Structure 1
């Protein structure tokens, strides 16, 4: 049985030097910049295709886009093509027991998954560089911001317009699942726009830090995720499948249409209890303008039994997504999302993310981990939570967030 460990968000992890080890007890040779040799690569089959030269020989490094605990993200330009990308520098652990950097196998797993996914709705990995203590991921430059932020700027949005975005998400998820890969962390923060200022913005699903290859005969369980978006089987520590992603799609759709979360409680334990019960309702105060087809779509996803949920392929042919007649088309166009309430939800969501980020930076500074960095960078909003060493339990599932530059 394959079981997961808490996986910090690679996009939000910032750089630290070996000398900044707060414990000072795990010293390793200073080999961060030394390339791996053939013997090193042979020990890790997933390293195939990684480049071991200096990234600056092929890319011009430009301004910083963001930073966190284990790395920094910089805009870069490929010298041969002139194309712009985002380069994510990730510190990896140089020896067992070190608390500096991410576990190398974890990073390699995410890279391996991204290498298998080539779809317009999924963030693309262009190149990978590796040394003994650092990895550099050259990623598609996604500059349009979060989908929910984009929608919150609108005065009105019909269900038909919202479906244009949901359809792209579903197409990406269906493709992912067809390759036996589950994301396991679908939420608004991980659904971005490639570019904001275009007639029909393109969706990009990001952050595959918790993603897993689902293999026949192998049971996978995990207690990781964001409380209000995870499925009951996560809380109950039961086997996870691609159906786990479909529950998250149901929650996202519910929020998009109403501006409220179906299971959100006052505390994380309360939220998890609500999710485990699977009980929710369509309150007329928030769903007055919602079509019955949309409610049926959600009902087919927020089902406690994973095997009874619609698959992504089935979602794409549901009458709400793909109307069967003219009457259904008219119903969609006349129904709308609750924009007033949605704006309030998104504002609360953004405030909570900002509050958590500043709190995390303050905590790390008290631990002596970020003092040097904070002196150089006054903008706390670029700092992200370090959850690497926190325990994971059914009643304290840790929120994971993407960097604003992912």
Structure 2
């Protein structure tokens, strides 16, 4: 059970600028009064009802906090403090101020594979540490890979542990949550999950990083999920014309249907693409580069989608608030139906500021349709 401090955050921290806003809260820069050090305060409204529209579930916050309290690694965001009021909790986190890794890369004119490997190595080191403790992230994607500071050789930080789970021995864990283009087949099929789910996401992220294309992205979520289920992707010469064979092999050993056949984080760190064995391997790797033209296009489209979803979310919430004010005495059954609609819409459009712990959710009826390809 997480131990939250009662009382006012402002007794201990001076509130600063708003760094971002999400569905049920905001992140603000804060300064600890006793030390003068800066942190990020993640404020979240909490609701008791699993169907509530006014906050995140208390159990979800407890789970995220419990995971963060177990983790202490240079490549994982650190939790410092916890506060709780009647309707809100505040997580005091390490201030990660360098922005998203993909944004940092998109500003470059060129990037060698060796530089990409420098970033991937840090991500894998953080994952290896987590997986050794039987903790899976379950929401790895570009929005959740940040930089401590924006410097020439930045330190990577994994953030947003809202879907993270400690996988206790003897217990099965299933989930239908995640972002369609990054989730593995076992999520779609609603099968027991392991840390191998994270390794599939690493394969997708590496594919995008090197080619500037998303391996399974379709025109619709349903098409994307079908491509994932069938492991339908290509390593074409066009987008991968400057990619080393070792990098392609690295991807192919992660985007594998059977979770047990994927490389682990530790095995990835020993793969020749990450850790060359011969001079020939090192020379080939050092001469290869990523497809910056495609990568810049991918990142611009990704940011546009995030902005569009944020606008949609704000408009939707405003509409719901107006309807509640106008129909305070409306039929209770109708109000419940409105909640059902909001839940369904929210599950399809929730790409918001990721430090707030939001995630896209695959609705259960779509998962059911994907479990049997013949349906």
Which category of TM-score, normalised to the shorter sequence, fits these structures? 0.7 to 0.9
Displacement after TM superposition at 1:192 (Å):
0.7
State the distance in 2 between where 1:388 and 1:210 align. 23
In the alignment, what sits opposite 1:333?
A: 286
Match of 1:92, SS state, is strand
State the distance in 1 between where 2:134 and 2:144 align. 20
What do the CA deviations read for 1:142-190 (whole angstroms, capped 9, x no partner)? 1111101110110010101100000000000111111111010000111
What do the CA deviations read for 1:250-305 (whole angstroms, capped 9, x no partner)? 00000100011111100000000000001211111101111000000001100000
Structure 2 residue corresponding to 1:318, chosen from 261, 265, 271: 271
What do the CA deviations read for 1:313-344 (whole angstroms, capped 9, x no partner)? 00000000001011111111100000111111
78 and 133 in structure 1: CA distance in 2 versus 1, 3 angstrom threshold:
same
* Correspondence 1:288-303 to 2 at 5 A: 288-303=241-256
Match of 1:137, SS state, is strand
1:176 to 2:126 alignment: no
Displacement after TM superposition at 1:401 (Å):
3.2
Structure with more contact order per residue of length (Cα contacts < 8 Å, sep ≥ 6) = 1
Asked if the contact 1:78–1:85 (Cα under 8 Å) also holds between the matched residues in 2, the reply is yes
- For the aligned residue pairs, the C-alpha RMSD in angstroms reads 2.2
| Moved segments of 4+, more than 3 Å | 94-99, 369-372, 386-389, 396-402
- TM-score when normalising by structure 2: 0.87
Match of 1:302, SS state, is coil
Instruction: Name which of structure 1's ranges 67-76 and 204-213 shifts more when overlaid on structure 2.
Output: 67-76
In the alignment, what sits opposite 1:258?
A: 211
Displacement after TM superposition at 1:68 (Å):
2.4
Structure 1 residue corresponding to 2:2, chosen from 20, 30, 47: 47
Count of equivalent residues: 343
In the alignment, what sits opposite 2:38?
A: 84
State the distance in 2 between where 1:150 and 1:370 align. 41
Asked if the contact 2:49–2:57 (Cα under 8 Å) also holds between the matched residues in 1, the reply is no
State the distance in 1 between where 2:263 and 2:108 align. 30
Match of 1:390, SS state, is helix
Structure 1 residue corresponding to 2:15, chosen from 39, 61, 67: 61
Match of 1:136, SS state, is strand
State the distance in 1 between where 2:65 and 2:198 align. 20
What do the CA deviations read for 1:57-91 (whole angstroms, capped 9, x no partner)? 11111122222231122111111111100111111
State the distance in 1 between where 2:75 and 2:6 align. 29
- TM-score when normalising by structure 1: 0.80
In the alignment, what sits opposite 1:287?
A: 240
1:107 to 2:57 alignment: no
State the distance in 1 between where 2:90 and 2:322 align. 22
Structure 1 residue corresponding to 2:306, chosen from 348, 353, 366: 353
State the distance in 2 between where 1:105 and 1:369 align. 29
In the alignment, what sits opposite 1:124?
A: 78
Asked if the contact 1:254–1:261 (Cα under 8 Å) also holds between the matched residues in 2, the reply is yes
1:401 to 2:356 alignment: no
State the distance in 2 between where 1:84 and 1:110 align. 22
1:270 to 2:223 alignment: yes
Displacement after TM superposition at 1:53 (Å):
2.7
96 and 230 in structure 1: CA distance in 2 versus 1, 3 angstrom threshold:
closer
Match of 1:310, SS state, is coil
Name structure 2 gaps, 5 residues minimum. 326-338, 357-375
State the distance in 2 between where 1:368 and 1:397 align. 19
391 and 366 in structure 1: CA distance in 2 versus 1, 3 angstrom threshold:
closer
Instruction: Name which of structure 1's ranges 66-75 and 199-208 shifts more when overlaid on structure 2.
Output: 66-75
Match of 1:223, SS state, is coil
Structure 2 residue corresponding to 1:190, chosen from 100, 125, 144: 144
Match of 1:286, SS state, is coil
State the distance in 1 between where 2:147 and 2:45 align. 27
1:220 to 2:173 alignment: yes
Structure 2 residue corresponding to 1:248, chosen from 185, 191, 201: 201
State the distance in 2 between where 1:399 and 1:171 align. 31
